[in-house]
Structure 1
Amino acid sequence: MNELLQEINDPVAAARGVRLLLWRDDLAHPDLPGNKARKLKYNLLAAQEQGHRTLLTFGGAYSNHLAAVATAGRLLGFGTIGLVRGDAPPAGAALNPTLTQAAADGMALHYLDRSRYRRRAEPEFLAEMQMRFGPAYVLPEGGTNALVLPGCAELVSEIRAETAFDALAVAVGTGGTLAGLLTGLRGPEQAIGVAALKNGGFLRGEVDALTQQDTGETFRNYSLHTDYHFGGYAKYSADLLAFIQQFRQRHGVLLDPIYTSKMLFGVLDLIQQGHFAPGSTVVAIHTGGQQAWAGWQQRFGSLGR
């Protein structure tokens, strides 16, 4: 079996006759693992083709996306500018671990108050940022646009080359990875999306808009589950932390606290509820994000480890 494909011998799955596998995209690249690399792939090619030498993007202070863009810039020779939501830290104050690493990778960090940050998708605001910082290839918050879909679609063929499956499961933040998987499936298999944020029902519209833009189609071979957010984006509970610890002890895999842990909790609950027929093979995708643990530890102490 491919080293990126791991059998998860969980008693819940065994009791329901479901084969559960974990695709370890978190191990796919030593410096830029997980779905962020897939989402950036064709955007970075477009930036190069258009002659850009700088990437400009947006994110919160603990953003996986900011960290990934900074790393990609270092690896591929782009300058990077990160526009961070919130106030700048006081003079002399240490940056959090995510921003410290982004700065070490060469990202120039600038801060936007929340009212200005809300304007991040407005053409006039983007033009203002280009005037301020110079020509740059603009990546949206989270990295999701139409160009993320082909990079994420490639994951389907990689998994299919290793195993037959009935369903792929993935965490959903902006909808780009799920949309890309759908364009890659184009068959009888199902996709399962587990929203990482509260009130995530709107994400179905986001996913459908992305696939319509990319392929002219909307897909019906997927379900979006919105009850496993544990209070909202980056929120947690004792049950979630216990699940992360138990999963690591049982399977030797560290899940991230923002996305993949909620997705796998949801998948196992769906298996227990009989969502998948006996004999089904479900492949859950570990999309990375372990860099979040350093910031998690800084904010919440020893929780989760």
Structure 2
Amino acid sequence: MSTLHPRLPSPLHPVDDPRWTARGVRLVLKRDDLIHPDIGGNKWRKLAPNLAAAQGRALVTFGGAYSNHLRATAAAGRLLGVPTIGVVRGDELAGRPLNPSLARCVADGMRLCFVDRSTYRRKNEPEVLAGLLRRVGAEDAYAVPEGGSNILAVRGCTALGAELRDAVDTVDTDGSGPTAPTDPTVPAVDVAAVAVGTGGTLAGLAAGLGPGQRALGVPVVAGGFLGEEIRALQQAAFGGRRGDWWLDDRFHGGGYGRTDPALDAFADDFEQRHGLPVERLYVAKMLKALLTLTEEGAFAPGTRLAAVITGRPFPTAAGETVTGQADSSR
């Protein structure tokens, strides 16, 4: 995996924003989106241990039509010379022009297999998974779950928590940015926040943090089931709950993939203030949650708050579509 040259640990960038500083909260961005140009953010942390375990075998994985995980897996396959197959939710998409996200997967060499939604919901059942692997002719492939969240991924994400555990507090001594450590024994972060889709990143992040540090998960999907999922992932990976973590379910905006004008306006404003392109489906919801919680007084004055930037916006051109090269198996 070293041949992919990740940038680790990812940098920690302070944010000077009066909406936080006026309440005594110090916000920093944990720039996991800078880990790798093609496999950035939590996707690197979750994929890297699975790629090592696959030992060069073909990869089969799962996702929706705009899945960041599918794109990251396809990119990893291209860079490592490993065949990849993406099982995509929704057989009604077969034969249609590919959206830019799936087109990127195909351009990186991924073979797509579209399955009906009922079968997709049951993909984790052993007999259904075996049937899907037979369908795509990849019985010996290494299967990575939707979103990449499995035991290996959770353990891989403990490094994120460890980086935040070991980062020391800094101070801006000359106006050029914080460089000098105020006290090498004081961690730079009290609370680390991350958007949550399948739970693997938060499960590992919380386990890697140090004493006195807390992890906040901001679900981007509706349903209130993620707490149970995260507990199950930690049980499988560590034998029980690890770290001090909690969820705030108020900011999913109606469900995965849903945004609204208020969220877009918030993201646009954050981009203009800080020069950071804000990914809408995960990062924008997490940042808006942090602002809301800060305004509600959830963080005491003096709190050092880290927002994990798990990815960057995927560039799409209006009307951009690509046809062909997709396996429309059902």
Q: Partner amino acid for 1:251?
A: H
Deviations 1:142-192 (A, max 9, x none): 111111112111112223443321010000111100000111114210001
Tell me which of 218, 238, 241 is aligned to 2:241.
218
Structure 2 residue aligned with 1:238: 261
Tell me which of 17, 21, 28 is aligned to 2:28.
21
Structure 2 residue aligned with 1:69: 73
Structure 1 residue aligned with 2:216: 192
Structure 2 residue aligned with 1:139: 144
Structure 1 residue aligned with 2:183: none
Distance across 1 between alignment mates of 2:53 and 2:94? 37
Q: Partner amino acid for 2:207?
A: T
Cα distance change of structure 1 residues 76 and 3 upon mapping to structure 2, 3 Å threshold: closer
RMSD of the alignment, in Å? 1.8
Deviations 1:241-286 (A, max 9, x none): 0001000000111111100100000011111111111111011000
SS, match of residue 286 in structure 2: helix
Distance across 1 between alignment mates of 2:94 and 2:121? 23
Structure 1 residue aligned with 2:184: none
Tell me which of 158, 166, 175 is aligned to 2:199.
175
Structure 2 residue aligned with 1:80: 84
Distance across 2 between alignment mates of 1:130 and 1:204? 30
Q: How many residues align?
A: 291
Tell me which of 274, 281, 285 is aligned to 2:304.
281
Native 8 Å contact 1:154 1:184 kept in 2 = yes
Native 8 Å contact 2:161 2:207 kept in 1 = no
Aligned ranges 1:257-276 → 2 under 5 Å: 257-276=280-299
Q: Once superposed, which parts of structure 1, at least 4 consecutive aligned residues long, lie more than 6 Å away?
A: none
The offset of 1:214, in angstroms, is 1.3
Distance across 2 between alignment mates of 1:41 and 1:161? 21
TM (norm. structure 1) is 0.90
The offset of 1:89, in angstroms, is 4.4
SS, match of residue 217 in structure 1: coil
Distance across 2 between alignment mates of 1:41 and 1:197? 25
The offset of 1:219, in angstroms, is 3.8
Distance across 2 between alignment mates of 1:230 and 1:269? 14
SS, match of residue 259 in structure 1: helix
Structure 2 residue aligned with 1:38: 45
Structure 2 residue aligned with 1:128: 131
Q: Partner amino acid for 2:61?
A: T
Native 8 Å contact 1:166 1:189 kept in 2 = yes
Q: What is the identity percentage for the equivalent residue pairs of Structure 1 and Structure 2?
A: 49
TM (norm. structure 2) is 0.84
Native 8 Å contact 1:82 1:108 kept in 2 = yes
The offset of 1:232, in angstroms, is 1.3
Structure 1 residue aligned with 2:101: 98
Native 8 Å contact 1:64 1:289 kept in 2 = no
